[in-house]
Amino acid sequence: MTKRNILMITPYIPQLGQSGGQRHSYYTLKYLSQTNNITLICYSRNENGLTEIKKYCHKIIIIKRGPTWSLKNILMTGFSWYPFLLVNYINSEFRQTILQEINTGEYDLVHCDCLYPMPNIPKIKIPLVMVDVTIEYVIYQHLANSLTGWKKILKPLLMIDVLKLKYWETKYWRETHTVLMFSHVDRDIVEKVTGRHDIHVFEDAVDPDYFNLPTKTKPSSTPSILLGPSNMKWMQNRESVEITLKNYWPQILKRYPDCRLYIVGRYALDFFGKYQSNNIIVAEADNEGLPKDPQYYHELCWIQLAPMKSGGGTRNKFLEGMIFGQPIITNPQGGMGNITIKNFHHAIVCPNNKILENVYKLFDDQKYRLAMGQAARELIKNNYSFDQSVKKLNQIYDQSIKK
């Protein structure tokens, strides 16, 4: 079989332990490399993670990214049609490098992993596949609407930026050869906005190497809840922790005085270290294979709890929790992303006012809790493997190239 030549563009060096998007890019590269020759252009401030991904790429080009907050970026945001989020990634060297590669390389397809680099990609004749991790303008609109206190004075400025972001994001949806979203809900929104009926879902998944990992730890001897592992710089993840601490944790602790709450993830200590106590453990999840990596916390904690205020995208912490047999409880706003479940069998999606009773039921009924964890593991193992997800991506490539 002749391998395709793919030019992949990312706004970072894909690596584990950073964010859901980077995790997805990493595994996409890992399994795409089996059937494609990949040239990767990254826009990054450093070379962290470079050694790991070299084995998956035919060629790697890194364009150095400058600081986020600069006078140039602020002025360009104020006096151009671009929002601050995209201004951050507009770079003449980045754009020129992409153009040069397209003109001199014999590529079958260009794959842009994330919205952010899109302004740097010229109009091209070969297929351009854009993977939109989530609907960005909805997230920032939610941020603007969530401002409180003196920060409300910033809302008009933020809403202008949201409108600019919406314009460009929807423009790329309409004009790009092929668009891939991370969930069926997001796919349906894009189809409604654009009138297109060829938007695909690129299912997030689990590395099949996870299926047979040896156990790291036994479940806690007392009730325990995991919040995460998450990148706490994302507003949605912080909101999930704050909702739990305010609306559910006091009642849970009153009913189960020996219960422990684990707030785990990147920057968890920066945002929530002040809550550290005998019952609340705040920690970074290590992804370097040390004892307390995400697997450790998924196996240790009885359940994963994730009430959210807004949805979109996918939930890789659900996927990995489920493969390690951990029951998940979320609300409709959190949803299950691209994971299709039988509710109350594989996981629990319930209204906010039903979350406590479902936590209590899982805590009190060990048989039910273990059965749900086993059903969740089987569901992910049989249906959500990255090698299968990327196999579908290859089929989308073929369809795009033949158009």
Region 287-299: mean pLDDT is 80
Tens digit of pLDDT for each residue in 343-359? 999 999 999 999 999 99
Query: What is the model's pLDDT at position 56?
Result: 97
Region 57-73: mean pLDDT is 94
Query: What is the model's pLDDT at position 18?
Result: 65
Assessment of whether the complete model's pTM goes beyond 0.85: yes
Residues 6+ apart with CB under 8 A from 344: 372
Region 233-240: mean pLDDT is 89
Identify the band that residue 188 occupies on the pLDDT scale cut at 50, 70 and 90: very high
In order of 40, 83, 110, 121, the CA distances from 37 in angstroms are 10, 34, 12, 20
Tell the residue number behind the tokens 């391998």, with chain if given.
3
CATH annotation of 4-205+386-402? 3.40.50.2000
**Phi, psi of 308, deg, nearest 5:** -135, 160
Same fold, 4-205+386-402 and 209-383: yes
- Cis-peptide into 229, omega within 30 deg: yes
| Region for residue 325 given its phi and psi (left: phi exceeds 0; alpha: psi -120 to 50; beta: otherwise) | left
Region 88-98: mean pLDDT is 96
Tens digit of pLDDT for each residue in 249-268? 999 999 999 999 999 998 99
Cβ contact 169:135 at 8 Å: yes
Cβ contact 124:9 at 8 Å: no
Longest CA–CA separation in the chain, Å: 66
Which CATH architecture group holds 209-383? Answer: 3-Layer(aba) Sandwich (3.40)
Query: What is the model's pLDDT at position 215?
Result: 94
Give 185 or 367, the one with higher predicted confidence.
Answer: 367
Query: What is the model's pLDDT at position 139?
Result: 86
Amino acid type, 180: L
Delimit the domains of the chain by residue range.
Answer: 4-205+386-402, 209-383
Query: What is the model's pLDDT at position 92?
Result: 96
Query: What is the model's pLDDT at position 293?
Result: 86
Identify the band that residue 311 occupies on the pLDDT scale cut at 50, 70 and 90: low
Tens digit of pLDDT for each residue in 3-56? 999 999 999 999 887 677 888 899 999 999 999 999 999 999 999 999 999 999
Region 55-81: mean pLDDT is 93
User: In percent, how much of the chain has pLDDT > 70?
Assistant: 97
Query: What is the model's pLDDT at position 288?
Result: 62
Give 321 or 20, the one with higher predicted confidence.
Answer: 321
Query: What is the model's pLDDT at position 312?
Result: 54
